[in-house]
Amino acid sequence: MNRLSNPGMAVVWAASMTLILTMGACGDSEPAAKPADPSPAAEAPVPEKAVVEHPEKYSETREACDDYTPLRQPLFGDTHVHTSFSFDAAANTTGSTPVDANRFARGESIAFWPMGEDGKPAGTFKIDRPLDFLAVTDHGEFLGERSLCREVNSPRYDSDFCKGTRVSERQSMMMFAAVITTEDPARVPEVCGEDGQLCRDFAKAPWQKIIEASEEAYDRSSTCEFTSFIAYEYTGTPGTSNYHRNVIFRNNNVPDLPVSYIDAPLDSKLWARLDEVCTDEAGCDYITIPHNSNLANGRMGPYMKLEPTKANRIAYAEKRQQREPIIEIFQHKGASECVNGLSMILGPPDELCDVEAVRVMGRNETFATRERVGNKIVLGETSRVTDECGDGTGDSGMLGAGCIDETDFVRSGLLVGLNEENDIGINPMKLGIIAATDTHAATPGSVSESDWRGAVSGESTPLERLQPGLLTSGIKGNPGGLAGVWAEENSRDSIFDAMKRREVFGTSGPRIVPRFFGGWNYPDDLCDDPHRVEQAYRDGVPMGGDFEQAPIDTAPVFLAFASRDPGEGSRPLQQMQLIKGWVDAEGKMYNEVMPIAGTPNNGADVDSTSAESRGDGHDTLCRVYRDASFDPALAAYYYLRVVENPTARWSVHDCMRIPEADRPAVCSDGSYPSTIQEMAWTSPIWYRPN
């Protein structure tokens, strides 16, 4: 697999990967940063790979992978991608299918914007480097309805509803969306019949094509170059709040049809229905991945519409831990890591919470409204000040509006989980961390700030992208991120197992490689130990794991390591930060951001005339760090955040593509930042007393 686009970085990358793949944690240290020196690192010899016996563990027929790494290797992919099979996809204009999305992920060119006079795409697009894995997640809700409305000979093609969906792409999207923005969704009888069976019947063919595209793309040979998962998106949007999940299946033993929001309008019902149609006896396994909690208005928290008895809370938490082990922290509709200003979370503000923040506490948001009148959607506009949800839930999050709840963001949501575990004995929000693009243009992994081509309808040109868009798109959007996993090999089973055990990470786009371990007795000089990883797994836990009970008079020690993206045009690393969250004896929730390595104030910036980054940084960073403030009586979590030097935001590059006289006001009025700092986040490590 060619993960390099810049041959000049190959030596540094090889040395960095040697450090990463041999890194581990064991022991105890004073907080002293140890950034790697690029010169010696570049000259470090790369050891030969050990020959190991391959375990027999596949859940489907395939060859064993040659590149099996017992101490695990980093793989990059995208677990949130839409094609023309989705009712709201920009790919409907280009005609891109799940086959095209898999081709794009593997490094092939696909037809793309601009559109020609004949209505067909006149351009092409290609990713800078292939991905290692992909899950195409077209919406499961309207596969049948769209087939009935688009196939000329279907029995519902000439219905008034179907005619309305063919007026325009945007009207079609809003007509279908009206079904899933209700609390009690139901199929449209005019299209599906009173019992909905006609739509279920017509959904079988597109679902089978999704399966076939994934099967065709999956490399079952021993080279294991690319893994494609069968998947779909569950698209609950009650009150126009985000309640979405991506459903990822382990292998090709999958249900006859997706379980949609119309079939199961609660997360608890989704898992129950999937358990019925995806059984162990059939060799079927699945996980769900919530995304855009930043737009959820409190609905991503636990126990939605469940009677909150202790028994119900425990049962919910157990099922969620089993079926929903990870969450998406970043994508084109904004960052979901953290928000400043929550009254329930104690700690100083964190300026990096504002990077690609769609929701900001106390800001007056102007957003679009829509009302269906017959088969037409009437648009309007209103405004609302963003405040806290309090004890209830809100609405309009998908429009970038409504209240904010502590469960809307990963950092504070993890604290809610700790607090709940103190009460019922199990954590209902024990979530590892990944990121994704959520591209609706069939372009997985297209995350470059300098060459972003848009993700949704109305983003096909620089001028379109710089305008306010429908929902959280246009100037408010961004290219999205990538999912990272630490897996033994590039196969479905190995990657799926990594996601289930939460040994995963996310980035805001660059292929930064972070590694994070925690233990009780790691030594100060672990960064220099050639057998780091063996010690790390033997004497501690990796990202996504749990500390065992604290020994007497001992504090946790962490080994944190990161390597920069080796790609052409990538930025050096600026710093690593340890994020800690804990709940005190009174149930108060705290966060702290601790710089642990690098140079936070290194003076790096961006040249405003060329959009080029300037300043020194680090190719790799390594640190052994002890939490001197640790209290063994208090539940806590820790995760690693790695931060690059500043980068010119995508909007700056698009402004430079437009003649100065024609540039929109956003190019010069300072209403949006001209720079950002790209990041990577590891899954947490949890500490639970007793």
Q: How many CB atoms lie within 10 A of CB 660?
A: 9
Question: Is CATH 3.20.20.140 the right assignment for the domain spanning 74-113+129-356+402-509?
Answer: yes
- Give, to the nearest 10 degrees, the angle between helix 169-180 and helix 143-150: 140
DSSP secondary structure string for all residues of 519-540: ESSB-TTGGG-TTHHHHHHHHE
Strands 345-346 and 589-598: parallel
Residue positions counted in the chain: 690
State both tokens at 360. 């900001």
State both tokens at 270. 């989704």
pLDDT computed for residue 30 by the predictor: 36
70-111 confidence digits (pLDDT tens):
999 999 999 999 999 999 999 999 999 999 999 999 999 999
Under 8 Å between Cβ of 83 and 206: no
Which of these ranges, 51-60, 189-198, 512-521, has the smallest mean pLDDT? 51-60
Query: Domain map of the chain by residue range?
Result: 1-53+528-690, 74-113+129-356+402-509
Q: In whole angstroms, give the CA distance from residue 340 to residue 435.
A: 21
pLDDT computed for residue 435 by the predictor: 99
Terminal Cα distance for the chain, rounded:
44
Provide the pLDDT confidence category of residue 533 given band limits of 50, 70 and 90.
Answer: confident
pLDDT computed for residue 373 by the predictor: 66
3-state secondary structure 109-160: CEEEEEECCCCCEEEEECCCCCCCEEEECCECCCHHHHHHHHCCCCCCCCCH
The single-letter code of the amino acid at 244 is H
Alpha helix (H) residue ranges in 462-587? 462-465, 492-500, 532-539
Under 8 Å between Cβ of 681 and 516: no
The single-letter code of the amino acid at 376 is K
Q: In whole angstroms, give the CA distance from residue 246 to residue 329.
A: 13
Provide the pLDDT confidence category of residue 365 given band limits of 50, 70 and 90.
Answer: confident
For 295: left if phi > 0, alpha if psi spans -120 to 50, otherwise beta; the answer is alpha
DSSP β-bridge partners for residue 614? 605
More confident residue, 548 or 52: 548
User: Does the pLDDT at position 10 exceed 90?
Assistant: no
570-586 confidence digits (pLDDT tens):
999 999 999 999 999 99
Residues 6 or more apart whose CB falls under 8 angstroms from that of 165 comprise 146, 149, 171, 172, 175, 176
User: Does the pLDDT at position 637 exceed 60?
Assistant: yes
Please list, residue by residue across 391-421, b when 16 or more beta carbons sit within 10 angstroms of its beta carbon and e when fewer do.
eebbbbbbbbbbbbbbbbbbbbbbbbbbbbb
Task: Report, as an integer, the average pLDDT of 424-437.
Answer: 98
pLDDT computed for residue 22 by the predictor: 52
Average pLDDT, the chain: 91
pLDDT computed for residue 470 by the predictor: 77
State both tokens at 266. 């609660």
Return the closest-CA partner of residue 229 out of 493, 492, 435: 492
User: Does the pLDDT at position 665 exceed 90?
Assistant: yes
User: Does the pLDDT at position 43 exceed 70?
Assistant: no
DSSP β-bridge partners for residue 580? 592, 638
| E strand or H helix that includes residue 234 | strand 231-236
Q: In whole angstroms, give the CA distance from residue 636 to residue 323.
A: 23
297-352 confidence digits (pLDDT tens):
999 999 999 999 999 999 999 999 999 999 999 999 999 999 999 999 999 999 99
202-225 confidence digits (pLDDT tens):
999 999 999 999 999 999 999 999
More confident residue, 268 or 471: 268
Q: In whole angstroms, give the CA distance from residue 468 to residue 491.
A: 40
Strands 557-563 and 620-626: antiparallel
Under 8 Å between Cβ of 165 and 113: no
Q: In whole angstroms, give the CA distance from residue 677 to residue 76.
A: 20
